[in-house]
Amino acid sequence: MLRLVRLLAVATAVPRDCPSKHLRHDAVERPATFALDARLVDALRAPGVDLAWLGAVQGVRWQKVRPFACSFLAATTKGSLFVLVWNRTATDLAEIAGRDRVRVLRLPPSEDASALVQHARYRAYAHFLAANPDVKTLGVSDATDVVFQRDPFALARDPRHLVVSDESARYTVASEPSGGNRYWVRCLYGPPLRRAVGARRVSCSGATVGGRDAMRAYLETMASELAALLPPPVMRDMPRSIPFNFYRGFDQGVHNALLASAFALAYNVTRSDLLFTGNGQRLGSDYELRDGAVFVKGAAAAVVHQWNRMLDGGPAAARRRCR
């Protein structure tokens, strides 16, 4: 009975209305062309980099990003990590700019500093890839709840390979306890795609890595879908009627719909436990902790996302400091 009461309480918390009923798409389609902004391309150039991992933040302090940066440096000797920041981000984040293979890239003032970073980051990531033709493998993720345990670039095998991260196998998009995932897909896409996506395991949009071709298609599609479905007027109105935990996650609705679309047939998509998302996972049955490292099915995870939602405190890498 108590569990039923809790489920009903969660269900009533899901917003009844969508932010914009007339913008809903019936399918996910890659844009025929993706418009590039020359100012943004120039701001994101990083010559000579062939392996890159990106995070994006706004208004956070260095301490929140430290596990992300320090664990990257400890986990791999390959590639570079970039933290993209909007112009109102705390200035002390520049502390990481002098560290080996970790750089801060400030977006130009022309980029809307009031934009929700969870959505705006895909446009910036797509521009980074366009600005850096030498990048062969690219990873993108949240920056404040992601740590690295070993080389993350090894997960992607070829230019058309995309690796995504699943949440707990105990629920699907339709049955996920918070109701957020089904809300995002319901609001953004029509009934046929909603039914197809609803039966699938939730893939988390907070960490993705792949070869150049797959990542270009993924990022351009994510950016264009979000721009079309949630234009600035809709985004400005959402905080008035939709709780933050619901309106911030619409990118995951696009992400899960994309994985159920023709995109997944055109590219080699792998749902990898080694790109591990901690939300809903249980110690012992879903993963192990060995000497402070997260292991899944006998192998150490390369990336641990949402380590701060793991009830055991998460991996030791989350408490790592840069040397």
DSSP notation for 227-269: HHHS-HHHHHHHHHHS-HHHHTTHHHHHHHHHHTSTHHHHSEE
pLDDT band at 1 (very low <50, low <70, confident <90, very high): very low
Alpha-carbon gap, residue 29 to 302, rounded angstroms: 31
The distance between the two most distant Cα atoms of the chain, rounded to a whole number of Å, is 60
Residues 287-297 have a mean pLDDT of 96
208 exposure class (CB count in 10 Å sphere: 0-12, 13-18, 19+): buried
**Average pLDDT of the chain?**
89
> Please, are residues 197 and 173 in contact by the beta-carbon 8 Å criterion?
yes
Alpha-carbon distances, residue 305 vs 9, 147, 285 (angstroms): 27, 7, 18
The CATH number of the domain covering residues in 10-319: 3.90.550.10
Q: Give pLDDT tens digits for 76-103.
A: 999 999 999 986 554 455 556 556 799 9
Residue 4 has pLDDT above 70, yes or no: no
Domains of the chain, by residue range, sit at: 10-319
Q: Residue 43 forms beta bridges with which residues?
A: none
pLDDT in tens, 168-198: 999 999 999 999 999 999 999 877 788 889 9
Assign 8 a pLDDT band (cuts: 50, 70, 90).
Answer: very low
Residue 300 identity (one-letter amino acid): A
Whole-number pLDDT of residue 10: 45
pTM, 2 dp: 0.92
Alpha carbons within 13 angstroms on the beta-carbon side of residue 271 total: 16
The predicted-structure confidence for 236-280, as pLDDT tens digits, reads as follows 888 888 888 888 899 999 999 999 988 888 999 999 999 999 988
Tokens representing residue 281 in the block: 């996972």
